[in-house]
Amino acid sequence: MLSPNTQYNLRNAKEYFEEHLCAGDYYSEGQTIAGQWLGEGAERLRLSGKVKRDDFLSLCENLDPNTGQLLTQRLKTTRAEDGGDRESGTVANRRVFYDFTFSPPKSVSIAAFIGNDERIVEAHNRAVSLALGELECFAATRVRVRRAYADRHTGNVVCAVFQHHTSRALDPHLHSHCIVFNATHDVVEDRWKALQNFEMLRAQKYVENVYYHELARDLRRFGYDLVNKPRGDFEIRGISKELCDRFSKRHQEIDEKTQELLSSGADLAAANIKDVRETVAHKERSRKIKGIGDDELREHWRAQLSPVDEQAISAASGSRSATNTASVTDDAVAAVAWAEDHLFDRRSVVP
């Protein structure tokens, strides 16, 4: 899944870095999470390898990490807002960064961390890098032409990626936060400008499917059999829905709080339920658990498994036989033939 979120508040952005991105969803024993720089924009700023605290915080303040000078010209942090019947006031206006979060299906996280398959984490990271490269292609900036605004393609972003492996409920949850700063280099004007992310958001589903495709290809190569689902994602065959639900406590918590909010009589009749759910996910967060180590975390997971569950997870990676692996090409040809018959059944021309 790919879910975007925009950070408007500078102080919150810095706290998010210190308390969440670097620490994950629990405080392990003296460990921190090191982010990695990605993107052509990062290369232009000579940012590579591990993310350093001072560089990240400088970009939050819209400063060039190398010179300390203002990176983009516009730095309006608030705007006046007329609330109509409500009181008017000021709200945050400057976008500090965009958080694009990639996460695989729950069964993949279970196989990776409870099944102790480190290859899956590497495959996830590779899929994230490739998908982020596709997302970067849609980067643009705003240009004023003859008193009208237009967008100009730039194709570069400054991105810091932080990979985590648990949810707030301490369930196995592999995911990567791709922090895309509100800056892109305009080669035509040869200067840094605010990032226009409209096309990036429009391409969200495409980029999500690039991630799924690359991850699924590696999982099949590792020997996992996958079950495709109607909404475009998949699960690993052999890891039951009941087991996935058991390790989706945070997901269930968000669903319950969303339902409570919708049934509370709040003025949400015209609201998009997905938007309400995302708001709950970002604002309704339980406190992090401190002082827990990786060994304790894995013991916490194992305590929730039955012998049958353990056997199913262990068997999932060996579910594909050599014959099945050899027939992948034949299966693909059959799938394309079926798709052609299905699409052309009622139409003579399809895109």
Task: Give the per-residue SS3 of the chain.
Answer: CEEEEEECCHHHHHHHHHHHHCCCCCECCCCCCCCEEECHHHHHCCCCCECCHHHHHHHHCCECCCCCCECCCCCCCEEEECCCCCCCEEEECCCCEEEEEECCCHHHHHHHHHCCCHHHHHHHHHHHHHHHHHHHCCCEEEEEECCEEEEEECCCCCEEEEEEEECCCCCEEEEEEEEEECCEEECCCCEEECCECHHHHHCHHHHHHHHHHHHHHHHHHHCCCEEECCCCCEEECCCCHHHHHHCCHHHHHHHHHHHHHHCCCCCCCCCCHHHHHHHHHHHCCCCCCECCCHHHHHHHHHCCCCHHHHHHHHHHCCCCCHHHHHCHHHHHHHHHHHHHHHHHCCCCCCC
Burial class (CB in 10 A: 0-12, 13-18, 19+), 183: buried
Higher pLDDT, 48 or 261: 48
Residues 167 and 26 sit within 8 Å (Cβ to Cβ): no
Q: Residue holding tokens 């991630």? A: 211
Confidence band for 266, pLDDT divided at 50, 70 and 90 = low
Spatial distance between the Cα atoms of 351 and 343, rounded to a whole number of angstroms: 10
- The segment with the largest mean pLDDT, out of 124-138, 261-275, 295-309, is 124-138
pTM (global) more than 0.85: no
Range scoring the smallest mean pLDDT among 87-101, 137-151, 266-280? 266-280
**Residue 54: per-residue pLDDT:** 96
The CB density around residue 191, as the number of other CB atoms within 10 Å, is 12
Range scoring the smallest mean pLDDT among 169-173, 190-194, 256-260? 256-260
**Residue 323: per-residue pLDDT:** 40
Higher pLDDT, 261 or 6: 6
Which residues form the catalytic set? Answer: 26-27
Spatial distance between the Cα atoms of 142 and 150, rounded to a whole number of angstroms: 6
Across residues 34-59, what is the average pLDDT?
96
Across residues 232-253, what is the average pLDDT?
87
**Residue 321: per-residue pLDDT:** 43
Closest by CA to 44, choosing from 66, 63, 13, 61, is 66
Confidence band for 169, pLDDT divided at 50, 70 and 90 = confident
Across residues 211-237, what is the average pLDDT?
93
pLDDT tens, residue by residue, 288-306? 556 577 788 888 899 999 9
Across residues 47-66, what is the average pLDDT?
96
Higher pLDDT, 115 or 327: 115
Across residues 271-277, what is the average pLDDT?
56
Q: Is the pLDDT of residue 111 over 80?
A: yes
Q: Is the pLDDT of residue 278 over 80?
A: no
Across residues 138-165, what is the average pLDDT?
92
**Residue 31: per-residue pLDDT:** 64
Confidence band for 85, pLDDT divided at 50, 70 and 90 = very low
Across residues 126-133, what is the average pLDDT?
97
Tell me the two tokens of residue 226. 């996958």
Q: Which residues pair with 151 in a beta bridge?
A: 142
**Residue 103: per-residue pLDDT:** 96
Mean pLDDT over each residue of the chain, to the nearest integer: 83
